Amino acid sequence: MIIEEIRIDRLEMPLKHPFETSFGKLMARDFLIVSATSGDITGYGESTAFPLPFYNEESTETVLYILKKLIIPQVLKMENLEHPEDLDPIFQSVKGHRMAKAALEGAVWDLYCKKKGISLANALGGTKTEIDVGVSIGIEPTIGELLDRVGSCIDQGYKKIKVKIKPGFDVKPMQAIRERFGMDVPLMADANSAYTLQDIDLLKQLDPLNLMMIEQPLAYDDIIDHATLQKELSTPICLDESIHSVDDARKAVEIGAARVINIKVGRVGGLTEAKKIHDYCQAMDIPVWCGGMLESGIGRAHNIAITSLANFTIPGDTSPSDRYWEQDITDPEIKFHKPGVIKVPEGPGIGYGINEQAFNDYVVGTETFSR
């Protein structure tokens, strides 16, 4: 196929509830939707970068720059794009900038599947017809408010409760959750790289709490110190920020830095690399789950598709639309079909349409590029 047009829309979607992590507080999502058109069919992808580089090195502006300057011009010149993997030589020519690549690659995967009339989940080799999902709860102003939110999420049927921690808001809130809701709730903590090896004694205090895992306790670019920490902890370590590729996953697993891996499609440069990490981890008996970046329904639909692969055995952060937005941009919105469970759509591509009205209401800028 030939891609005739690529469009970038910048959207600003207010969050229903502020989301605070160890790296900052978000009131709204400011992000890009990339759409790629061939003939009368359009595919959609989402950039998961934040406006500022507080989670990883990328930002909305760097994604825009790389797409406009390097990736889109090359893609619009391609004469023989038969499969999304044909983008690889273009991607190889640019070091890093994986969220930029993933946004474009996602649009091409959706377009490719829609042209073939197959679902994205099937095209990726997914076998599940429904996925279990969890929720990621931000840092709340008080332990009381955190307990209220945890209770409400348990009542809604979420299959995993993840709580953000940071220095000063870690052991006490996690203990309080266990005291209130018991030791059996599937519970984990995400530190977003807020600690160092100096904090080993503090992190060890989480061990008696029977957490499923602790996510990215140490630096965003570290693998080695996590292996040192894992030797001291009984709680499994899960890596998020540190894993950009199947090679990173292999290094982390080989040295014992991660017993679980969080796969985020954007962070690893797209669905093709996400699948490679999944396949490697499956062969190594390392369970994986799909993380989230507070995506709109479009990014979330991609996450649902990849989560249909068999080794996504742990519920992901792929919560339904109403956990984030008053109104999402997909039609239909993403919903539970039973508590804590989302059906994998069977329609072509991502399997969700676009709610044009809602989409346009959130757009703050549009740029179009043609052959």
Residues forming the annotated binding site for Mg(2+)?
Answer: 190, 215, 240
Q: If binding is defined by CB under 5 A, does position 317 make contact with Mg ion?
A: no
Closest to ligand OSB by CB, 132 vs 240, is 240
Can you tell me the distance from the alpha carbon of 105 to that of 88, in angstroms, rounded to the nearest whole number?
A: 10
Question: 52 or 363: whose CB is closer to ligand OSB?
Answer: 52
Contacts of 97 (CB under 8 A, 6+ apart): 58, 62, 63, 66
Return the closest-CA partner of residue 229 out of 254, 211, 210, 204.
204
Look up residue 359 and give its DSSP letter: H
* Cα separation, 342 vs 7, whole angstroms: 29
Q: Which of 101, 114, 160, 264 is catalytic?
A: 264
Residues 200-239 that bind Mg ion (CB under 5 A): 215
Q: For helices 143-156 and 171-181, what crossing angle results, to 10°?
A: 50
Burial (CB < 10 A; 0-12, 13-18, 19+), residue 80, is exposed
Q: How far is the CB of 87 from ligand OSB (least distance, A)?
A: 25
For the CB of residue 200, give the shortest distance to ligand OSB in the complex, in Å: 21
Q: Which of 240, 248, 273, 295 binds Mg ion (CB under 5 A)?
A: 240
How far is it, in rounded angstroms, from Cα 120 to Cα 116? 10
317 binds, options ligand OSB, Mg ion, none, Cβ within 5 to 8 A by partner type: ligand OSB
Residue nearest to Mg ion (CB): 240
Nearer to ligand OSB, 21 or 308 (CB): 21
Q: How far is the CB of 293 from ligand OSB (least distance, A)?
A: 5
Please report whether residue 190 would count as binding Mg ion according to CB under 5 A.
Answer: yes
List, in order, residues 6 or more apart from 130 with CB less than 8 Å away: 337, 341, 342, 343, 344
Which of Mg ion, ligand OSB, none does residue 293 bind to, with CB < 5 to 8 Å depending on kind?
Answer: ligand OSB
Q: For residues 292 and 340, which CB has a smaller minimum distance to Mg ion in the complex?
A: 292
For the question of residue 160 being annotated catalytic, the response is no
- Binding at 292: pick from Mg ion, ligand OSB, none (beta carbon under 5-8 Å per type): ligand OSB
Structure tokens at 318: 């792929």
Whether residue 162 lies in the annotated active site:
no
Residue 273 in contact with Mg ion, rule: CB under 5 A: no
Choice between 67 and 263, CB closer to Mg ion:
263
Judged by CB under 5 A, does residue 105 bind Mg ion?
no
The site for ligand OSB (CB under 6 A) is made up of 21, 55, 136, 190, 192, 240, 291-294, 317, 319
Give, for 354, the enclosing helix (H) or strand (E): strand 353-354
DSSP 77-135: H-S---SGGGGHHHHHTS-S-HHHHHHHHHHHHHHHHHHHT-BHHHHHT---SEEEB-E
In angstroms, rounded to a whole number, what is the distance separating the alpha carbons of residues 329 and 93? 33
55 binds, among ligand OSB, Mg ion, none (CB under 5 to 8 A by kind): ligand OSB
As measured in angstroms, the least distance from the Cβ of 166 to ligand OSB is 12
**319 interacts with, out of Mg ion, ligand OSB, none, CB within 5 to 8 A per kind:** ligand OSB
Binding partner selected for residue 328 from Mg ion, ligand OSB, none, CB under the kind-specific 5 to 8 Å limit: none
Q: Which of 101, 114, 160, 164 is catalytic?
A: 164
Minimal CA–CA distance to 279: which of 312, 316, 318?
312
Residue closest to ligand OSB, measured at CB: 292
Measuring CA to CA, which residue among 300, 289, 301 is closest to residue 349? 301
Give SS3 for 368.
strand
What's the CA gap between 300 and 107, in Å, rounded? 13
Whose Cβ is closer to Mg ion: residue 287's or residue 347's? 287
Q: What are the catalytic residues?
A: 164, 264
Residues that bind Mg ion (CB under 5 A): 190, 215, 240
